[in-house]
A and B are shown apart, each in its own frame.
Chain A
């Protein structure tokens, strides 16, 4: 009964490095999204996907790329890490209607030095 699984849980990057945060869900949910959480700012939407092959930008997309080749997976790529991307990242999935519960992963704590 895994739900939404994120890897890694912790990561330290040097400025300019790239990396991919992994997200997988086993609930056959159409909708998946990535948020970043910063103190005092709540969660802000980075990118989201309404199904395999369909992605769109959220509120804070700059510096991040996504793709959705399968229903299960929704990786988030940092192209060239910057200290401003130090944050906690959460992946979420939902069945897709507007009033349904979003299920969240445990988060990835990323530090860019």
Chain B
């Protein structure tokens, strides 16, 4: 079974500082990987996804993630944090479809990002 582990349930940064949210995956086949963001009292929305076309993936709001097969990692970064980035971030891996199964998403535990002025 595929799984993801997010290191650090809470990350706190100052406004303007680098954001680094860590995600490691476990998969026996090349994975489909995603980062989702959840703002307070809202549903999840897609930040970016790994499509195997490029190891460095750019997403919305200045976020990007780098796929490193040797480290089984897909860490999320942003060079300069904004107050509006405060949210919970989820890394997710998708199964490969087969038969009536489809790409079910398995989520990590989530990382709450706090941005201080």
> What is A's interface to B at a CB cutoff of 8 Å?
4, 31, 33, 35, 40-45, 48, 50, 54, 56, 58, 90, 92, 94, 96-102, 104-107
In the assembled complex, B43 has its CB within 8 A of some CB on chain A: yes
A102 with B105: CB separation less than 8 A:
yes
Bound together, the chains give a CA A43 to CA B105 distance in angstroms of 9
**B80: CB under 8 A from chain A?**
no
Q: Does B45 contact A (CB under 8 A)?
A: yes
Residues on B lying within 8 angstroms of A by beta carbon are 9, 32, 41-46, 49, 51, 90, 94-97, 100-110
Q: Using a Cβ cutoff of 8 Å, how many contacts connect chains A and B?
A: 67
5 A-B residue contacts at CB 8 Å? A42-B110, A50-B101, A94-B103, A98-B102, A100-B103
B113 to chain A, nearest CB (A): 15
Give complex CA distance A104, B105 in Å. Answer: 12
Classify the secondary structure of B's interface with A: loop
Smallest CB separation, B74 vs chain A (Å): 14
Indicate which residue in A43, A99, A104, A106 contacts B51 across the interface (CB closer than 8 Å).
Answer: A99
Residues of B within 8 A of A92 (CB): 44, 105
B43 near A105: Cβ-Cβ < 8 Å: yes
Task: From known contacts A50-B100, A104-B43, A106-B43, infer whether A98 and B107 are also in contact, taking CB-CB under 8 Å.
Answer: no
Q: How far, in Å, is B13 (CB) from chain A's closest CB?
A: 21
Complex CA–CA separation, A4 to B46 (angstroms): 14
Known: A40-B9, A42-B109, A43-B90. Is A99-B43 also a contact (CB below 8 A)? no
Most buried by A among B49, B51, B109: B109
Please state if B90 and A42 are interface contacts (CB–CB under 8 Å).
Answer: yes
CB neighbours of B97 from chain A (8 A): 97-98
Q: What's the Cα separation between A96 and B9 when bound, in Å?
A: 30
User: Cβ of B104 and Cβ of A33 under 8 Å apart?
Assistant: yes
- Among all A-B residue pairs, the 9 with the closest Cβ atoms: A98-B103, A104-B43, A42-B107, A43-B107, A104-B44, A101-B46, A99-B32, A42-B109, A98-B97
